[in-house]
Amino acid sequence: MTITITAFENAPDRGRGLARDMRVRWALEELGLPYATRLLSFDALKAPDHLAFHPFGQIPSFEQDGLVLFESGAIVLHLARHHPGLLPDQGDARARAVAWIFAALNTLEPPIVECTMSLLFERERPWFAERQPMLDQRVRDRLQQLSDRLGCDEWLDGSFSAGDLMMVTVLRRLGSTHLLDAFPNLLAYIARGEARPAYRQAFTDQLAVFEAASSATKPTADR
């Protein structure tokens, strides 16, 4: 019955909760499900035994009773379908909540990842100054549409759902930019997500992993 997920042994975001295990941890906390974590180094991600679990060599993966899943969206949806708390009971409302999971992952996340990866890895390239405004604008367009839809509501469609959980984690990737500043309702929406006890527990747990790895690898002279 034990649920085991995989996560980075040493997260590249330095414990800011931006790695995709955060989504699964948060969902597990919302649902009150205990779980174990198997930590993987970057080398281990590409090793055959992990590729047998996750064909694309990423985190997170999910194991329970012989079922192995990958893709954070699929894992969160699977958990939400089998335990009450993250999807409405009524069929149509449930389908709409699932649509927001897909919107977060397929309509918001790709331009956000493209924009933030360029900021991280292409800043020194000769094209950065000309190209980045285009990437920023694509993200702004999507944020404007999301902001218009959210309006003054607390969550995207009725009560907090797996769709909101996914959207908040996707929007948090913009934390190192100023792109959200123009959208106070989205900032408040993210803050509402981050204030949930389940979010805070998940955040604390992933940060503890990073801090343990960090102190283990710190040179003796620094201690």
What is the rounded CA–CA span in Å between residue 177 and residue 81?
34
* Closest to 153 measured CA to CA, from 200, 119, 186: 186
* Closest to a copy of itself by CB, 14 or 46: 46
Write down the residue that tokens 């679990």 correspond to: 53
Residue span binding a copy of itself (CB under 8 A) among the ranges 28-36, 69-77, 177-185, 191-199? 69-77
Say how many residues touch a copy of itself, by CB under 8 A.
42
Residue span binding a copy of itself (CB under 8 A) among the ranges 4-12, 89-97, 195-203, 206-214? 89-97
Is residue 101 involved in binding a copy of itself (CB under 8 A)? yes
Kindly state the tokens that stand for 148: 């218009």
Is residue 1 involved in binding a copy of itself (CB under 8 A)? no
Site track for a copy of itself across 145-164, x = CB under 8 A: xx-xx---------------
CB distance 98 to 77 below 8 Å: yes
Is residue 34 involved in binding a copy of itself (CB under 8 A)? no
- Candidate residues 70, 187, 194, 201; the one interacting with a copy of itself per rule CB under 8 A: 70
Residue span binding a copy of itself (CB under 8 A) among the ranges 24-32, 140-148, 188-196, 205-213? 140-148
- Candidate residues 7, 87, 105, 190; the one interacting with a copy of itself per rule CB under 8 A: 105
Q: Tell me which residues in 3-32 interact with a copy of itself (CB under 8 A).
A: none
The least distance separating a copy of itself from the CB of residue 214, rounded to whole angstroms, comes to: 28
- Under the rule (CB under 8 A), what is the footprint of a copy of itself? 51, 55-58, 66-75, 77-78, 92, 95-96, 98-99, 101-103, 105-107, 109-110, 113-114, 125-127, 130-131, 142, 145-146, 148-149
